[in-house]
Amino acid sequence: MARAKLQLKTIENPVSRRSTFSKRKTGLLRKASEISILCDAEVALIIFSPSGKLYEFGSPSMNRIMEKYQKFTTIKDHTSFSETTEMLRLELENLRRRMKNLQNMYKHMIGDDLGSLSFKELKHLEKQISLGSRKLRSRKDKISVEYIGFLKNKEKSLEAENANICKKSYRSHKSGDIDLNIMEKES
């Protein structure tokens, strides 16, 4: 019995779409691994999920394959050294700008250097901090509840152990009294 050909189009139901993405991603990663092992091929696979999460596979390693790919495309495209240098310089500038923005965002989050922010930016920052605070409090409360449960269980086991020790102590003390009474009667 042949399977019906699947019509390729975006899956409308978001739950089904996420489920299908997860299953197909797993299968694709497995196939990439298999082809690298069976055919002794160098394989690199990069997947960005719809939410922006990165999944990657590289055999023998992603960095090694990416370097090899960049060398190959550089030779293939006949890009000059100066063009490559310029491209790297621009990328470095972008990374420096991004790092500066992240440093400013960090300062704002801890309450420093707020003078440069507008009212709207301050309001947005307040919402972000409030949301982060709620998440932190929720996580802290969850850990506290788990720890309290752990301590209650430990308390119960220690109480049970204490009760057993008391019973054993009482029995040995009681049997020792009987032995003394028997010894006194015999003498």
Better-scored residue on pLDDT, 159 or 78 = 159
Q: Which amino acid does the sequence have at 131?
A: L
pLDDT at 93 over 90: yes
Query: Domain segments of the chain: what residues?
Result: 19-77
Beta bridge partners of 99: none
Whether the CB-CB separation of 35 and 43 falls below 8 Å is answered with yes
3-class secondary-structure state, position 29: helix
Q: Which fold has domain 19-77?
A: SRF-like (3.40.1810)
pLDDT at 186 over 60: no
pLDDT at 74 over 90: no
Q: What is the pLDDT of residue 78?
A: 58
3-class secondary-structure state, position 13: coil
Chain mean position to CA 79:
39
pLDDT at 17 over 60: yes
Q: Is the peptide bond before 60 cis (omega within 30 degrees of 0)?
A: yes
* Rounded Cα distance, 127 and 124, in Å: 5
Q: How far is CA 147 from CA 66, 111, 138, 154, in A?
A: 46, 32, 14, 10
Residue 35: name the closest of 47, 24, 48, 44 by CA.
Answer: 44
How much of the chain, in percent, has pLDDT values that exceed 70? 88
User: 88-92, 143-147, 167-171: which has the minimum mean pLDDT?
Assistant: 167-171
75 pLDDT band (50/70/90 cuts)? low
Q: What is the pLDDT of residue 177?
A: 53
Residue 55: name the closest of 35, 82, 30 by CA.
Answer: 30
- Tell me the whole-structure pTM to 2 decimals: 0.38
What are the tokens at 50? 């719809």
What dihedral angle (degrees, nearest 10) is formed by the CA atoms of 76, 79, 85, 87?
A: -90
Q: What is the mean pLDDT of the chain?
A: 85
pLDDT at 173 over 80: no
Mean pLDDT of 114-119: 86
pLDDT at 24 over 90: yes
183 pLDDT band (50/70/90 cuts)? very low
* Rounded Cα distance, 62 and 56, in Å: 8
Q: How far is CA 142 from CA 128, 133, 134, in A?
A: 21, 14, 12
